[in-house]
Structure 1
Amino acid sequence: MRVEIAAAIFVGDDHAHGALRLLALFVRGRHVWAVDPRDVPVLDVFLDRQVPCLADSYRDLARLSAVQFGAYAVDDASPPVRVSPDDLDDHVADLELPAVVVVENSGSDGSFLKALFSLFGGRELLKAMDENWLIVGHGGGGDTYRRAEEEHSRFRRLDRVAVVFDSDRMSPGDPVKNAARIEQVRKRVPHVHVLRLREAENYLPNKLLRCARPYRESSTRIDFLKRLSFDQRGHFDMKNGFGPNGVPVTQEALYDGVSPRTIAGLTNGFGRDVIRLFEEDAAKTLTDADFENDVGTGVPDELRGIVAMLRKIV
């Protein structure tokens, strides 16, 4: 997060401990220090008094930050966090905690998020995950709502929790599953994204599905999958397929007109762990076209939106 510290914090010694804790975060690169050039003189005096041995290194960082103060621009960035003497302790506590993105399954959905960060301009979010500055919280299905609210309550002032929900829609336009509970979460946690498609697995392009074993069976299954429309593919059970009973009653209208041979060819899905295909080396070579052509129009924009949302909490 981009942090501006009021000059009053550096006057006298009353706030020295909290100020130095913030400076340590900036030195590590955990947050970005936004220094108003007009505050540099009072900061110089503070550093010489409090940390004379480290003053030069902090001063260099401050001056670099001051040069960048007016030029800083990120399209999807949040407004800077402004820290004053009255709220210093609260902000230090919040900024020292890791940001949290709550998902249904931290292991599998974490693979999905890492791929998005790599593909859609979120390299700094990958670093944040590696450093445990951003953690993926395991919601465990029905507990996702409770976990999101619990994580949010740990922060005193800042909104540093986000939630990514599967929609679990069986057809386009269906109500989101548990929509009422999701709206309850939104009232407390502003950073919420509900996937437009059924589940995260529905965002896997063919290039990754070809990596599923056994390869021959996957290749055949992809051929049948390609016969579906974007809406049909986006709400297909990628993990389990249609099963031995064929199309569920709730999806009969969606798959009306699809040949029995195609339905039979999709009896099985790509397996319970198919989402982990986002960890394959092939994921690093994905392009917007892979998502647009295989998954659906506008999908890259949705995925970039998730990255932009998470950038705001880190």
Structure 2
Amino acid sequence: MLLDIDDAIFDATNHQPVLQLLEMVADRRHDWYPTLAQAEKADALVRRLIQAKIQMPLLEEWVQQAFIEASNPIPVADRRTVPVGVADLQRAVADLAKPAVLLVENEFGDGGFVRAVAVAFGDDRIIEALERDPKWLTIYHGGGKGQMPQLAAARCREFSTVVRVAVLYDSDRKRPGPSENEGKVKQTRDVGVDHVHLWTWRMMENYVPLRVWDDHFPLKSDAIDGLRRKAVAERGYIDIKRWLVGGGKMPFPLFPDELNLTREDFEELGIDAVEELQRVLSMINEIL
């Protein structure tokens, strides 16, 4: 997350949360662009640690880089900024140290899709968040959309001041128009989740490039060619699962690493779908 840190925290008597916060910044888990005066205060704190023979090499390296960055214009960011002050310092640091939460209908299917899109679109921030140990981003299984508003509320309660939860819903649309799941979206927003996305097309599988189906179903070329001949908009609303497996189980994993999907693979879906996928990645970045 992009932080706006009040430099008064450096005058706090308890240095532990300050150091934890700076370590997360130094590790590029969260971003902070200090002013020169703030960089000097951070440097003074690190120097006191060195004098006390407390070694924090990552923080020492970051402070030196902070002086260089402070002399340059602050980057313009379209991400939300999270204020961190003295009054709520410990609670904010605790929230920022927890993994962000993405709630989906199917952890393995939807989770694998999010990772595949992040890789294809070169979103290194999301990729790192998913691959870190411990993770910076966890994907929770919603078990279908029935209880997702309640599950989202439970995940929100795990945060004190900086709620870092996002939710993805299938629309289940069979054609363009209203979705029966819009009520679930509203319920989810009502319990405190600001980051909710309802897929425009029927479900996640409708956004899967044909190269994935070619790989999984080499003996179903007629069915896949049928998809290929459809207009993109029509393909977006058909029941892909029934079309390919008659309503049975889909392959697992749906996105094998060796496929190496690229942005060009997703561009076959059309510009509107590509822009929607980018919005979903941006939404996830908002909670990281």
Q: TM-score range by the shorter chain?
A: 0.7 to 0.9
Is 1:291 aligned with 2:266?
Answer: yes
Contact map agreement 2:121 2:263 (CA 8 A) in 1? no
Match of 1:130 in 2: 131
Q: How big is each residue's C-alpha offset from its partner over 1:155-187, in whole Å with a ceiling of 9 and x where there is no partner?
A: 1121311011111111111x2123222112123
Structural mapping, 1:49-64, within 5 Å: 49-50=48-49, 52=51, 53=53, 54=55, 58-64=59-65
Kept in 1, the 8 Å contact 2:112–2:255? The answer is: yes
Residue 178 in structure 1 maps to residue 181 in structure 2:
yes
2:256 to 279, 299, 302: 279
Matched, 1:163 2:167: yes
Distance 1:75 1:303 in 2: 20
Q: TM-score, normalized by length of structure 2?
A: 0.88
Cα 1:5–1:109 shift into 2, 3 Å? same
**Percent of aligned pairs with the same residue?**
32
Gaps of 5+ in 2: none
Among 222, 225, 228, the residue aligned to 1:226: 228
**Contact (CA 8 Å) 1:208, 1:278: kept in 2 or not?**
yes
Provide the C-alpha distance between the structure 2 equivalents of 1:87 and 1:183, rounded to a whole number of angstroms. Answer: 29
d(CA) in 1 for partners of 2:262 and 2:124?
Answer: 15
Partner of 1:73: 75
For residues 89-100 of structure 1, the aligned pairs below 5 Å read 89-100=90-101
The alignment covers a number of residue pairs equal to 281
- Alignment gaps of 5+ in structure 1: 242-265
Provide the TM-score with structure 1 as the length reference.
Answer: 0.81
Change (3 A) 1:194 1:66: farther
SS in 2 for 1:116: helix
1: CA distance, partners of 2:61 / 2:118 = 30
Q: Evaluate the alpha carbon distance shift between residue 74 and residue 278 of structure 1 in structure 2; reply closer, same or farther with a 3 A threshold.
A: farther
**Displacement after TM superposition at 1:76 (Å):** 4.0
**Contact 1:109/1:275, CA 8 A, preserved across alignment:** no
Q: State the superposition RMSD in angstroms.
A: 2.3
Q: What residue is the counterpart of 1:260 in the other structure?
A: none
C-alpha displacement of 1:136? 0.3
> Which residue in the other structure is 1:10 paired with?
10
Residue identity in the other structure for 1:137: Y
Would the alpha carbon gap of residues 76 and 208 (structure 1) be closer, same or farther in structure 2, given more than 3 Å must change? farther
Q: CA deviation at 1:63?
A: 3.0
State the 1:97 CA deviation: 0.7
Q: Does 1:310 align with 2:284?
A: yes
User: 1:56 offset after TM fit, Å?
Assistant: 6.5
